[in-house]
Amino acid sequence: MASKKAFDLLIKNVRLVRPNAAMVEQGDIAISDGRIAKVAPEIPAASAKTFYDGKGQLAFPGLVDPHMHTGIYSPLAEDALTESRAAAQGGVTSSLNYMRTGGYYLNKGGSYKKFFPEVLDISAGRFHVDYAYHLAPMDKRHIREIPNLINDFGVTSFKIFMFYGGHGLHGRSSNQHEFLMIGEDEKYDIAHFEFVMRGIRKAMGKYPDKADALSLSLHCETAEIMSAYTKIVEEEGKLKGLHAYSAGRPPHSEGLAIFIASYLANETDLPNINLLHLTSRKAVIAALQMAAVFPHIDFRREVTIGHLMLDTDSKAAALAKVNPPIRPREDVDFLWEQLVAGNLDWVCSDHACCKHEMKIDHKKPGNIWLAKSGFGGTEYLLPALITEGRKRGLSFNQMAKLTSYTAARRFGLPSKGDIAEGLDADIVLVDPNDTWTVRAADSESQQGYTPFEGLEMTARVKTTFLRGQRIYDNGEVLGKPVGKYLHRPY
């Protein structure tokens, strides 16, 4: 009689990329009940019910993409299905999405008590990867709801869009109340940001066991600077395309917002601050200066794969419009330097699927001001980071840290982000010697184009395991959506 097999699945013959290790090591991974049961140099094949030959490929922890916008431009029910397929294709196993009331998304206002269950209902059974939501308190009522969001819904991270009070999502705007769907007596301004911070701080006192997992993310741009510069650049009409958009939202608008955000975090004694998508030398320097001035604040500094791969000369032109803007090459090189130096904490996609027919103005396709902001890219996050990162001296271990570990720890996901016993068996196998060219047609995303079109990649995601289940293999998304909602801390 056969003895009882100890493990459900054994992934054999991989090179383990642990985020906190100094090097890549040969090994096997045994999985039981969706969790990693054992990691060792050699585990006998006979000890598992099934085994998978890793063929010497790299095994990264499943990616935690901490900044996505599922459901922003297409109905959430559609976007969840297709964009989480793109995530699985990219080796992403945890998709963390920024969500809010107001224009786009569900296109409605109201309390999160009403709004968020609807989001969760639509999401259930539609994600191919595990998912969670960050929420943005848009008015006073939402601030009062913070403790309930934490306790009842497992939402541990919140967001402020610093420029929304005085500048539209795609350009200048004077109708912010209509866009934000907040009451006439409400203001989405610096005072509101302060009160959001006080609200989170108070919740930390109420739930001390969850305090470490609670944080606030900020999109740092200054509405007044952007509005003034956008007007100047539009009226002068000398700059075009991405150059014009970058000049209209200049880097010091980011730097100033970072100073304001940090000052308020100190004033309100809020220790966990995530500075989202830093794009420029000025933004990164401002963020590092604030970390030196306020050493008791635990800052995280984020960068997107778009800002690392594209510059203002990109052929993608208006298709690469995003907030904050794609910057000139000097800024891109500076971001890489800071990433390699360990001054940036994670790389995200800021995936916001914006289909071509919506992205570009049809009468004036070249007009950057009329294009919509944002694009997808979660499926290229890891291949692009490997391709460009290894040219710049980033180790595989650093890449694992930047794409899973750090964000998992910050956002209340201690069972994600590493290949270690007891953690969820989220694993992505990567062939680091497979050269291919990005073609939007090959993507699982429904976007239909990509600003990364034509870029050559030198690594490819081959297989993605979510909690021990193969959800992507050899160019195919497998099975029905099995992603779970991550009620945090998870």
Which residues contact Zn ion by CB under 5 A? Answer: 350
Query: Shortest gap between Cβ of 72 and Zn ion (angstroms)?
Result: 9
What does each C-alpha distance from 412 to 265, 272, 375, 426 come to in angstroms?
20, 12, 26, 16
Residue 158 to residue 135: CA distance in whole angstroms: 5
Query: Shortest gap between Cβ of 459 and Zn ion (angstroms)?
Result: 25
- Go through 412-422 and write b for each residue having 16 or more CB atoms within 10 A of its CB, e for each that does not: bbebbbbbeee
Tokens linked to 144: 């009062």
In the complex with Zn ion, which residue's Cβ is closer, 156 or 274? 274
Query: Shortest gap between Cβ of 275 and Zn ion (angstroms)?
Result: 13
Query: Shortest gap between Cβ of 323 and Zn ion (angstroms)?
Result: 8
In the complex with Zn ion, which residue's Cβ is closer, 243 or 351? 351
What does each C-alpha distance from 389 to 86, 147, 235, 400, 405 come to in angstroms?
22, 40, 39, 12, 17
Task: Name the residue with the smallest CB distance to Zn ion.
Answer: 350
CB 367 within 8 A of CB 361: yes
Residue 78 to residue 447: CA distance in whole angstroms: 12
In the complex with Zn ion, which residue's Cβ is closer, 130 or 350? 350
Residue 243 to residue 221: CA distance in whole angstroms: 17
In the complex with Zn ion, which residue's Cβ is closer, 331 or 350? 350
In the complex with Zn ion, which residue's Cβ is closer, 69 or 470? 69
Tokens linked to 85: 């397929």
CB 61 within 8 A of CB 418: yes
Which residue type sits at 324?
A: P
Inter-residue long-range contacts of 183-192, CB under 8 Å, 24+ positions, other chains counted: 183/139, 186/138, 186/139, 186/140, 188/138, 188/139, 188/164, 189/165, 190/260, 190/264, 192/139, 192/165
Dihedral pair phi/psi, residue 420, rounded to 5°: -150, 155
Query: Shortest gap between Cβ of 28 and Zn ion (angstroms)?
Result: 38
Inter-residue long-range contacts of 176-183, CB under 8 Å, 24+ positions, other chains counted: 178/103, 179/102, 179/103, 180/101, 180/102, 180/103, 180/109, 180/138, 181/101, 181/102, 181/103, 181/108, 181/109, 181/138, 182/102, 182/109, 182/138, 182/139, 183/139
**Would residue 102 be called left, alpha or beta, if left means φ above 0 and alpha means ψ between -120 and 50 degrees?**
left
Query: Shortest gap between Cβ of 398 and Zn ion (angstroms)?
Result: 23
Q: How many CB atoms lie within 10 A of CB 266?
A: 17
> What is the total residue count of the chain?
490
Residue 184 to residue 187: CA distance in whole angstroms: 8
Nearest one of 288, 230, 221 to 253, comparing CA atoms: 221
Query: Shortest gap between Cβ of 218 and Zn ion (angstroms)?
Result: 11
In the complex with Zn ion, which residue's Cβ is closer, 225 or 322? 322
Query: Shortest gap between Cβ of 98 and Zn ion (angstroms)?
Result: 6
Query: Shortest gap between Cβ of 304 and Zn ion (angstroms)?
Result: 8
In the complex with Zn ion, which residue's Cβ is closer, 54 or 306? 306
In the complex with Zn ion, which residue's Cβ is closer, 350 or 426? 350
In the complex with Zn ion, which residue's Cβ is closer, 193 or 375? 375
Tokens linked to 74: 């297409």
In the complex with Zn ion, which residue's Cβ is closer, 276 or 423? 276
CB 7 within 8 A of CB 32: yes
Query: Shortest gap between Cβ of 238 and Zn ion (angstroms)?
Result: 29
In the complex with Zn ion, which residue's Cβ is closer, 311 or 350? 350
Query: Shortest gap between Cβ of 217 and Zn ion (angstroms)?
Result: 9
